[in-house]
Chains A and B, each alone.
Chain A
């Protein structure tokens, strides 16, 4: 059995757990705990270590989706999680502009750990108060070549399209690194 992994990261409450839950074939193994810090009480619980979900491709291949802890004080787990990943997805909450700066910093950190392909997903695009995608791109200082995709983590189809875009980027990266064979 071969296994590969994709990491889903992003700031606290960006929707990483929900993203994985939407496509995982097993119940997402999650380490949610009640939130202790007042300033982080946007929601009742948060992921303290990581989540993981699984997609069985065939009898020889399994894809694991690892979600990182959202709170900064658990960032010691990031490097461990980034080891050997095929690529990563940065989730950003489109309704909370105060988290954009942190999202940018997480993106840079993960890219420094492993310069693998990545895409950025603008989550909660269906929610009231969501920022426009192009405005978010500017706020996040994303290069025009970076895939920045609208997403709703509770929609399986949207999640699938984010995952597919990442996989297309991985393929493109492989093509770039592997000169074409003579025809």
Chain B
């Protein structure tokens, strides 16, 4: 084993720097608090990356990067089960579905995304194996590390700032009782609106992130922007049921009826 240690002593970006400068070939395995990432290098360039048990087959990557539809993915996953990524890639190129560049772009996008996730890991163990290269059948790419290191360092700083502002994802959100004067001029993007539709004292930020398919850093970013805009406040979760899209907060028909009657009484008095 060439190198092993703890992320507290060597950050991921420091490790990438080292691999880049020494033009190393091998695999960096990082055991984070909830997942294991494998990042592959050839001559100091990033060649492949996988995280946890996530499906990292070519078909799944093409679907995740919107090169193929969900139904096309299902067909490929079923029919090309026994094919390696290289074989599947060739088949798609020869059939004229995708170009070689489409496939490489998708892979690059996916691999960079995996590495970006790992940049936010501050706890965990790593080891670097010099004799391990890109897994068989996978399509390697060549991504320069310099830009990734700069971006990752910025991302780590952002992550630290977000962690300071939102120390726990187990807190809930509520709409501000007295929104600021600028609220009517606020423009929210689609992600922010998705989060807004789940704001409720009973939903933790983590649950909202899961329901809206946002990673930890992305849900923190969205919540931070909503906090900065003065639209929401962080509160202790109200307990009770987990995130839900039910019509009524109660299952009891009498309580549901009473709730509608309360709404009617209130609207009459507006």
- A residues contacting B by CB (< 8 A) are 1-4, 23, 26-31, 33, 49-50, 52, 54-58, 61, 63, 66, 77, 80-81, 83-86, 116, 156, 160, 163-164, 167-168, 170-171, 174, 178
Contact = CB atoms under 8 A, between A and B. Distances in A.
Contacts of A80: 193-194, 197
B8 interface: no
A84 B243 CA distance: 11
A1 B174 contact: yes
A171 B257 contact: yes
Contacts of A29: 179, 183-184, 186, 188, 196, 231
Contacts, number: 99
A54 B175 contact: yes
Contacts of B231: 29
Contacts of A163: 267
B253 A178 contact: yes
Contacts of B189: 49
A164 B267 contact: yes
A80 B190 CA distance: 11
Contact of B188 (A1, A26, A31, A86): A31
Interface of B: 174-175, 179, 183-184, 186-190, 193-194, 196-197, 200-201, 231, 238, 244-250, 253, 256-257, 259-264, 266-268, 270
Contact of B263 (A27, A54, A167): A167
Contacts of B246: 84
Given A23-B270, A27-B179, A49 B260 contact: no
A171 B256 CA distance: 9
Contacts of B249: 2-4
Q: What does DSSP make chain A's interface, helix, strand, loop or mixed?
A: mixed
Contacts of A54: 175
A49 B190 contact: yes
B200 A3 contact: yes
A160 B259 contact: no
B197 A168 contact: no
A54 to B, nearest CB: 7
A55 B266 contact: yes
A56 B188 CA distance: 23
A170 B179 contact: no
A86 B190 CA distance: 23
B183 A27 contact: yes
A167 to B, nearest CB: 5
Contacts of A49: 188-190, 193
A77 B174 contact: no
Nearest to A28: B184
Contacts of B262: 57-58, 61
A66 B183 contact: no
B263 A4 contact: yes
B140 to A, nearest CB: 35
Given A27-B184, A29-B186, A170-B260, A50 B193 contact: yes
Contacts of B183: 26-27, 29
A84 B244 contact: yes
A98 B187 CA distance: 30
B268 A160 contact: yes
